[in-house]
Each structure stands twice: as structure tokens, then as C-alpha cells.
Structure 1
Amino acid sequence: MYHAHFRGTHYEAGYRWGSLLLKHKNIILENIPFPITQDRIDYALSCLPLYEKYYPEIVEEIKGLADGQQCDVCILQAVLFSMYSMPPACNCSCFAFANNHEVLLGRNSDFLTEIEKLNLNVIYKLTDGTYSFTANTTAFVEMEDGVNEQGLAVGLTSVYPIQYKPGFNAGLLLRYLLEKCKNVMEAVSCLHQLPIASAQTLTLADSSGEIALVECNAERVEAKTSSNGQPVVYATNTFHLAKMEEYNSTGIDTWFAETRYQTLTSAFQDHRNLGLTFAKKLLCGEYGFLCQYDRNTGKDTVWSVIYDLKQHKIYRSEGNPKRCRFKEDGRFHF
């Protein structure tokens, strides 16, 4: 896993990163695990006005990244804006729980082994009016889990979309929340207001002890929060809230999503002593299938992370947690 620290404006951060990659002969557009079709290009063009309206900073960062890479920004936008909205993208498990002593968010990122060396951990401390954050990603400027300086942590799982519209995809939606929101309440409010393109779950927790699960797509946003008496939330790659179940697809490879969901269900039902040790064991697959992929299929858990929001600590396994132990990362303070 690469580690990168970004400063300056969004444009400057993108330009410096793109230039550094180019200097080391790392060409972004040569490492995309799907074809860049005309449909993706056209779709990105339809999304661009919405990003310019709601999130102009990210448009500037992508422009900086393209300039640094000396590539066509329209092609880079086609890659980034279409991710999660256009398959393939079905993986990951996430949970959050809170009690009187702890607030933890944990996530396994399951993805393709062929590009796992490109996985990235980032720290962003930018100067143009957004919260600082640290996050992990397989997708450059898009983020898949992270925590910001206010103590808001978010993790995503993608869901196979039955349709998509112009709007925010999962990775940019999550990053927007980290940059703009102080807590779970603000984040949930934003999700009801932003134009959403892809289908996903977002697991949220903050240092006050508030947690939430949001299942959303281009048609609907539904949330389950701890204020409704739910001290635990979890998700894989299908919708389980009653009003969202109709948006699930059938007959597709969901990377054992329902098996993983049942592992999470059983673990939280069977164990009362919820804490850091429990979270690590759960992510390591000690309570059932969660990360035990056959790497010969090209799939695996490529990192695992726990955000401890009461103790302000981050623990990360930079690989499959069954084989790579969790290490504390103390570089980002929140």
C-alpha cells in the first residue's frame, strides 16, 4: 500500500500527485481494470455539471491530476465519475458499534489482487476550506473508508446498480462527507440532498457515539441510526433495509455478500463483549467467512481497518487480516 500526504489547494494536490506518478513512470490510465468506453465518457460529461455545482473542489483536483499526468482530463473524468455507477464493483464488508466506552468502525476492503500494489492510504490537509482527513482507496481521488479531523468516520460497500443517473458515485460521495461534515447527523442530511448516481451502503460513526447505516441509490435514501435504538449497524453488498430491498439485483457475482452478511449478523448476536479485540477477530474471519477468499480467483481482502473514535486511534492491516496483523497508525490526529 502506498502512503501519500497531500497539501495545498485541491488543484495543487492533484497536480503534485499526478506529476510524481508520471516521474516514476506510473501512468494512471494504463492501470484501469476496465475498458474506457464511449458510454463512460458520455456518462462522465453528464455528471460534470453536478460536480461543478456541488463539489467544484474535486473537479479542480482531477484537473490537476490530469495536468500532472499530461493526459486528457475528459478521459480521467470518464474513469473516475463512472466508477461504482457502472459495474464491476461489488465487494467489502463494514460495521460500526457504540457503547458507553467505545465507538468503533471496521471495514474489510475486498478487491482485485492484480492491482493491490496500487492501493493507497492518504492524508489530506488542504488549504481551500475543507476538513482534513485520512482515508484508504483503490481509486485515486475517490475514497472508500476514512476519518476526518472532527472524528467522523465513514466506510462504503458498493451494491450492483439496477440503474444509474448523473450524480455522485460512492467514492466521491464518501470523500465529500469527510471533507464537509462534522458528524453523523450532518452526513445523513447531506446524503438526502446530494444527487446520487451509484448504489451503495455507507456506514457512519462519530466520536460522540452516534452511528448510522445509509442505504442509497439514484432513487432513494434510507437510514438506520443509533438514535432509533440501534447500537450496531453493518453492511455488505446488498440492500437489507425494507424499502431498499427492491433495488437488489439477482444472478450476479456479489463476492459472497450474503454469506458475509450472515457472518456479521451471527457475530453481533452471539457476542456481548464488543470491543477492539472483537472487531479485529471479526474482520480476520474468526467468527465465519469474511475474508477467506481463494486468491487464485483474483479476489481477496486487500486491506482492513478499524477506526477507534473514542480513543482517537487507527488500526490497519495492509493486506488480508488473516495474514497481515493490524498496526496502529498514529500519523493523523483527530
Structure 2
Amino acid sequence: MKQFYSDVFQYRGTHYDFGYWQGKLLKDSPILLNREKQWGPRQHRHFLIDPVTYKDIMLTFAPAILDEIRGLADALHMNMDKAFRLFGGYYLEYTRSGCSIFTDSRFMIRNYDSHPRGYEGRYVLYEPSDQGFAVIGPSMQITGRIDGMNEKGLVMGYNFTNRTKSGDGFLCNMIGRLILETCANVKEAISLLKAVPHRHSFSYVLLDPDGASYVVEASPRQVAVRKSSVCTNHFHVLSKENRYRQEETRRREAVIHNQQQDAQSAYQAFKVMNDPAHGVFSKKYDAAAGTIHTSMYFPKEKKAWFVIGPDRKPVIFDFSKWLKGDNVNIKRIKGELDYSHPFVNMG
């Protein structure tokens, strides 16, 4: 087992200032350099469509995030075309991943399964002073979010389904950011998911303080909504969008259903997902399907749990206190994975 970590960042202010602040931090971080190395000869596939088109779309859904990208570009002395490509979360290739989600009326638990070498190791608390809701959660592509919760208690996580037959549209991580920053509840999030263009096929799991959990199956062609407490990596309604092989994702779905029936507390439910003995936590890192983090969100209490690696006690964030101005004292979340290469933030 090797030690890994995520750095914790917290910021209050305008989107431009937030972007500029992050850009200054990235100058001293290995994240961007390691991203460029990873993309290598595949760089030609990591492109953006016409920047004018992108700006028009972002002005429709979240104009403030454009200001964040401008701040990043200014701090990094980068032209906007490159900034859009690196931080825009639109029309890029996406690495296949796993992921499992379980909800009940009180909480959502999410295993994020992917390749550790692409994980940027950033856990972010941001409260905008210009527009949008405050959000807590791990980041992807700096501006996007892997999962998270906003100040209204809306919780979001997503699971990969398929990347074939992709279309022009947002990546999952930017869609996650759009949901959390602009939507107050599940109803608004469903409306947004029906309106935004989707690059790939993903399930978005939504929960708010009302306690009803919905899975939104979204592809570049269709969006469908169903009520469910479990989601893995296949669609139920849009079944024609699924990958050919579904044995493993359906196995995990059944295991979660069966194991969670015996969970008597939130912590026991968390252990079902995080303890490998229960059969949900995965160590298939070389196949881009190993569990990197387990996150848990409580919409009513506005608390967030987070761990890196298996069978660990969660780091607990009291988001409600943070929203009142009490900064967290946690600088770094540490864990261990059975993998030899570091996250991109670790050099």
C-alpha cells in the first residue's frame, strides 16, 4: 500500500478572484505539467470546439464560471483558447471508470472508481460572492466537481455508462459543477440535465433535504429520469445506450442492494461501500476501475464525509459551520491505495 493525499482548498469571493487564486497555486503545483505528460500523443483528441460557441453556451448556463476560467488564464499567463481546453469541461475525451452510489432519505454514499494517475487530489470548499451557491466536494479539471453538496443541501454524484457515440457537449465534471452551483433542489437539477448538451452517457444521482433520490440517465441523444436508491454503471431506462458487457456493474448493483439491507446506521452503510470485505470497493486500478475515494453527504445536516482508500474512518466536514464563516482546519486528507504511481498533485 502507498500513501496518497488530497489537498483541501477553501475560498470565499468572486469567481474571477477564485480562478486567479487557483491559478497562482497551480503555478507551484505539478498538476498541469503532469496532465500534459499524460495526454502526450493523445493531445489532438483533447480539443474544444469553437471558443465562441463555448462562451455562448456557458453564458446560458453559468456565466460566472467563465470569469473563473478568465482568472485562471490571467494567473497562468495563458490564452483563453488553451484555458477553455484545460478548464472548460467541454468536448474532451473521458477515461472509462466505474463508480457506485447508494442513497436513502438521509444521505448519499459514493465510491469514485477510476485510474489514480488521473486523479488531481483537490477537495474544494467555495462560496461565491457574485452569483451561485456555495459547494463542497472533490474537483476534476480544476473547475469541475466529481461529486458534492451545495448550501441548499442538494447532493450530486455521477456514474459512467458509455463513451461511444459521443456528441458535442459538457463533460460529467462540469455538469456536476453546473448542477451544484446553479440548482437549489432535485427538480431544478433534473431540468438542467434535460437542457445541457452531454458529451458522454452518464447517470447523475440527485438527493436533496426532501429525501427523495432520483437517477437521471443522460446520453448525447436522450435523458430519462427514474427513482432509485442504487446506481452503478448501466442504464435501466435508456438500455440501448449501455455497453455490451454489463456483468460487473449489475453484480455491484445486486451486492449493494443486498448488503445495505442489513446496515443499521449511516456509518454501517458507509462501511458497506468502503470496506472491501463487502464486495463493492474495487482494487482494479490498472483497469481504471479501482475505488479512489468514498464520499458521503448528509443534505439536512449539511455534513460531508470523505476518505481516500479502503476501510478508513471518514474525515468529517461540517459544511453548515463553514457557511457561517468557520474555516476548516484540515489541510490535507491522507489515505492509502494498493497502487504504485502518485496522483497528479503529488509530483
SS in 1 for 2:145: coil
TM-score by length of 2: 0.81
Output aligned runs, 1:21-32, within 5 Å: 21-22=26-27, 24-26=28-30, 28-32=32-36
Letter in 1 for 2:309: N
2:95 equivalent to 1:91: no
Output aligned runs, 1:272-287, within 5 Å: 273=263, 275-285=265-275
Letter in 1 for 2:211: G
2:252 equivalent to 1:260: yes
After superposition, the Cα gap between the structure-2 partners of 1:256 and 1:15, relative to the gap in structure 1 and judged at 3 Å, is farther
After superposition, the Cα gap between the structure-2 partners of 1:265 and 1:329, relative to the gap in structure 1 and judged at 3 Å, is same
Once structures 1 and 2 are overlaid, which stretch shifts more, 302-311 or 119-128? Answer: 302-311
Of 316, 333, 345 in structure 2, the residue corresponding to residue 328 of structure 1 is 316
Letter in 1 for 2:190: V
Of 5, 9, 19 in structure 2, the residue corresponding to residue 4 of structure 1 is 9
Distance 2:280 2:49 in 1: 34
How many equivalent pairs are there? Answer: 314
- Structure ranking higher on relative contact order (CA contacts 8 Å, 6+ apart): 2
Letter in 1 for 2:231: A
TM-score by length of 1: 0.84
User: Contact 1:43/1:82 (CA < 8 Å) preserved in 2?
Assistant: no
SS in 1 for 2:109: strand
Aligned counterpart, 1:144: 146
Q: CA deviation at 1:130?
A: 0.6
Aligned counterpart, 2:244: 250
Runs of 5+ unmatched residues, structure 1: 226-231
Aligned counterpart, 2:18: 13
Output aligned runs, 1:102-141, within 5 Å: 103-116=106-119, 118-141=120-143
Q: CA deviation at 1:174?
A: 1.1
After superposition, the Cα gap between the structure-2 partners of 1:49 and 1:256, relative to the gap in structure 1 and judged at 3 Å, is farther
Q: CA deviation at 1:115?
A: 4.7
Q: CA deviation at 1:80?
A: 4.0
Deviations 1:18-42 (A, max 9, x none): 11221x2535254254346334324
Aligned counterpart, 1:229: none
After superposition, the Cα gap between the structure-2 partners of 1:18 and 1:255, relative to the gap in structure 1 and judged at 3 Å, is farther
Aligned counterpart, 2:180: 178
Distance 2:109 2:129 in 1: 29
Runs of 5+ unmatched residues, structure 2: 1-5, 324-347
Identity among equivalent positions (%) equals: 22
Once structures 1 and 2 are overlaid, which stretch shifts more, 39-48 or 67-76? Answer: 39-48
Deviations 1:219-269 (A, max 9, x none): 1111113xxxxxx42212222x23x11011236xx894343223223334x
Letter in 2 for 1:190: L
Q: CA deviation at 1:44?
A: 6.4
Distance 2:267 2:85 in 1: 41
Letter in 2 for 1:214: V
After superposition, the Cα gap between the structure-2 partners of 1:82 and 1:8, relative to the gap in structure 1 and judged at 3 Å, is closer
Deviations 1:249-308 (A, max 9, x none): 236xx894343223223334xx15553033212112456422231557676322111112
Aligned counterpart, 1:236: 232
User: Contact 1:113/1:299 (CA < 8 Å) preserved in 2?
Assistant: no
Distance 1:60 1:11 in 2: 5
Runs (4 or more) in structure 1 with deviation over 6 Å come to: none
After superposition, the Cα gap between the structure-2 partners of 1:95 and 1:139, relative to the gap in structure 1 and judged at 3 Å, is farther
After superposition, the Cα gap between the structure-2 partners of 1:136 and 1:71, relative to the gap in structure 1 and judged at 3 Å, is same
